[in-house]
């Protein structure tokens, strides 16, 4: 999921366009993009879309961002949108493993009630100081957790940290990526609010990519192409990875634990990354299966 496009739950006229667009995933938003007075409307609108099966058949990851657990909307959100065809629930502001467990329990009940057979995963937003400090514990607190998503606006603004301060952005990204790595889940990058600054979006996406993030959030369709391009393995990376994979077969047959490809020493960590690049390229249709 190189790109994930947010769609407000109160904008049903945008649903079909988003589903037909180039983003790898869509996130139907019941939280920040919806005013308090329209929460019930948004929930009902999204539930109708999902129940009608309109989100299926597009090959996209379908996500719903629900309201936080300390709001009166959380339980109703989960009960309404935990439906067949939803891949992930995006959980805002989890503060403890108990929060994650409670969200998973709510999903268990909703899936039983709604006839969901494929378990819905959790994408946890890391957007508070406490969550950043304990991100690995949150990620490891339940098998439903598939990834951690950085939320820089919510994390930085209350602390008076400049959203565009590269050093702060990099440190937060690094902390989330290491926590995700410890837990064995993926890390997903934050939204970038300055829609008019395409160069800034691309630069931040490249920073996230270089730190091992899976992809980046898009809050406008104009950001999708940049995310898809940045988080795509380059032709040079694919070619080198394919050489490494081939050389690994030969080295294993010869009993070698370390060997040289294109002038670089290769051992287990490099081999594993090469295999991951080839698999990702294969999944994107960049190389033959």
What is the structure's pLDDT at 144?
A: 98
Sheet containing 61-65: which strands, arranged edge to edge?
186-188, 145-150, 121-126, 88-91, 61-65, 25-29, 3-8, 216-218
Query: Which CATH architecture describes the domain 3-230?
Result: Alpha-Beta Barrel (3.20)
Q: Where in the chain is the domain with CATH 3.20.20.60?
A: 3-230
Report the relative pairing of strands 259-261 and 264-266 from DSSP bridges: antiparallel
Closest CA to 82 of 54, 56, 57, 117: 117
CA 270 to chain centroid, in Å, comes to: 24
Q: What global pTM score does this model have?
A: 0.92
Tens digit of pLDDT per residue, the chain (289 long)? 999 999 999 999 999 999 999 999 999 999 999 999 999 999 999 999 999 887 777 889 999 999 999 999 999 999 999 999 999 999 999 999 999 999 999 999 999 999 999 999 999 999 999 999 999 999 999 999 999 999 999 999 999 999 999 999 999 999 999 999 999 999 999 999 999 999 999 999 999 999 999 999 999 999 999 999 999 999 888 888 888 888 888 878 888 788 888 888 888 888 888 888 888 888 888 877 6
Output b/e per residue, 94-125; b: 16+ Cβ within 10 A: beeeebbebbbebbbebbeebebeeebbbbbb
Residue 133 DSSP one-character state: H
Q: DSSP of 247-273, one letter per residue? A: HHHHHHHHT-S-EEETTEEE-HHHHHH
């Amino acid at each position: 999921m190189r790109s994930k496009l947010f769609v407000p739950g109160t904008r049903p006229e945008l649903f079909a366009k988003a589903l037909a667009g180039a983003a790898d995933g869509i996130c139907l938003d019941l939280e920040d993009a919806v005013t308090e007075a329209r929460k019930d409307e948004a929930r009902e609108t999204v539930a109708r879309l999902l129940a009608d099966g309109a989100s299926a058949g597009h090959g996209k990851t379908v996500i719903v961002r629900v309201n936080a657990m300390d709001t009166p909307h959380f339980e109703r959100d989960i009960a309404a949108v935990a439906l067949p065809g939803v891949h992930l629930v995006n959980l805002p502001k989890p503060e403890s493993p108990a929060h994650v467990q409670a969200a998973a329990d709510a999903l268990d009940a909703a899936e039983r009630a709604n006839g969901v057979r494929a378990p819905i995963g959790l994408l946890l937003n890391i957007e508070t100081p406490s969550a950043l400090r304990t991100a690995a514990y949150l990620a490891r607190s339940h098998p439903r957790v598939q990834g951690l998503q950085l939320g820089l606006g919510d994390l930085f603004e209350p602390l008076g940290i400049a959203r565009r301060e590269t050093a702060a952005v990099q440190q937060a990204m690094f902390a989330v990526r290491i926590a995700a790595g410890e837990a064995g889940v993926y890390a997903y990058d934050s939204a970038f609010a300055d829609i008019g600054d395409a160069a800034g979006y691309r630069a931040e996406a490249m920073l996230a990519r270089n730190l091992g993030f899976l992809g980046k959030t898009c809050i406008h369709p104009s950001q999708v192409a940049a995310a898809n391009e940045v988080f795509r393995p380059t032709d040079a990376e694919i070619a080198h990875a394919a050489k490494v994979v081939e050389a690994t077969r030969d080295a294993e047959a010869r009993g070698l634990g370390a060997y040289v490809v294109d002038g670089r020493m290769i051992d287990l960590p490099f081999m594993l990354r090469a295999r991951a690049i080839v698999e990702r390229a294969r999944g994107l249709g960049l190389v033959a299966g």
